[in-house]
């Protein structure tokens, strides 16, 4: 956030201050929603979308350089692929008990606790990584692209 060059990008000072105060809380709320998906309403998809929204919040207020310094494009791509592989791996590990997506933890734990319900929290984490990184990538692609209209030279700075 330091440096005079970055201050000029993005929205006004009011939006930037409110963003700085709230964006951490939004990220924490997303992590809470996804970790408690098997105990209370929520789950991997909603938590992943909230996590993606916190990064989109930074990008809307501060511009794309600051947002890419928090979550770069390569890191988002890695996170999404890692989430997909993790989800498939949990499913394949179920073959140790007999069938695809078998809940291979024999001790399911105590109800209403955070560490319970076997593979369900692990699946929630995998899905949230996939959904969060994927929706952030879709937002970046759809918003940052500028289509050329008219007969301009396409190689001129876009």
Partner 1 sequence: MILYILLILMIIGAIAAVQMKDLLSSIVTVGAVGLALSLAFLVLKAPDLAITQLVVEILCLIILIRATLKKDLPFSTTGRRFFNTLVAVVFVIVFLALGYFSLKDLPVFGHPIMEVGAFYVEQGLIETGATNLVASVILDFRAYDTLGEATILFTAVIGVMAIMRRIGRKKVGEEIKESDEWE
Question: Where does the chain have alpha helices with state H?
Answer: 4-7, 13-35, 44-62, 64-70, 73-93, 120-144
Q: Cβ(126)–Cβ(90) under 8 Å? A: yes
Cα(35)–Cα(38) distance, rounded to whole angstroms?
8
Cα(34)–Cα(127) distance, rounded to whole angstroms?
9
Cα(54)–Cα(66) distance, rounded to whole angstroms?
13
Contacts to partner 1 from residues 106-145, by CB under 8 A:
108-109, 111-112, 116-120, 123-124, 127, 130-131, 134-135, 137-145
Closest CB to partner 1 among residues 2, 112: 112
Find the shortest distance in angstroms from Cβ 59 to partner 1: 10
- Applying CB under 8 A, which of residues 15, 35, 82, 84 lies at the interface with partner 1? 84
Say whether residue 87 binds partner 1 (CB under 8 A).
yes
Listed ranges 5-13, 14-22, 102-110: which one lies at the site for partner 1 (CB under 8 A): 102-110
Q: Cβ(100)–Cβ(92) under 8 Å? A: yes
Residues in the site for partner 1, rule: CB under 8 A?
33, 37-46, 49-50, 52-53, 56, 60, 73, 80, 84, 87-88, 91, 100-101, 103, 108-109, 111-112, 116-120, 123-124, 127, 130-131, 134-135, 137-147, 149, 154-155, 158
């Amino acid at each position: 956030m330091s440096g005079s060059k970055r201050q000029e990008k993005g929205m006004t000072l009011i939006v930037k201050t409110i963003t700085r105060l709230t964006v951490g809380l939004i990220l924490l709320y997303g992590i809470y929603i996804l970790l408690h998906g098997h105990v209370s309403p929520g789950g991997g998809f909603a938590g992943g979308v909230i996590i993606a929204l916190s990064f989109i919040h930074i990008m809307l207020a501060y511009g794309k350089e600051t947002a890419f310094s928090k979550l770069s494009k390569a890191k988002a791509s890695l996170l999404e692929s890692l989430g997909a592989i993790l989800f498939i791996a949990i499913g394949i590990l179920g073959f140790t008990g007999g069938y695809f997506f078998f809940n291979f933890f024999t001790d399911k734990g105590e109800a209403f606790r955070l560490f319970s319900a076997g593979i369900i929290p692990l699946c929630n984490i995998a899905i949230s990584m996939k959904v969060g990184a994927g929706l952030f990538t879709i937002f970046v692609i759809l918003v940052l692209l500028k289509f050329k209209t008219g007969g301009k030279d396409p190689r001129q700075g876009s």
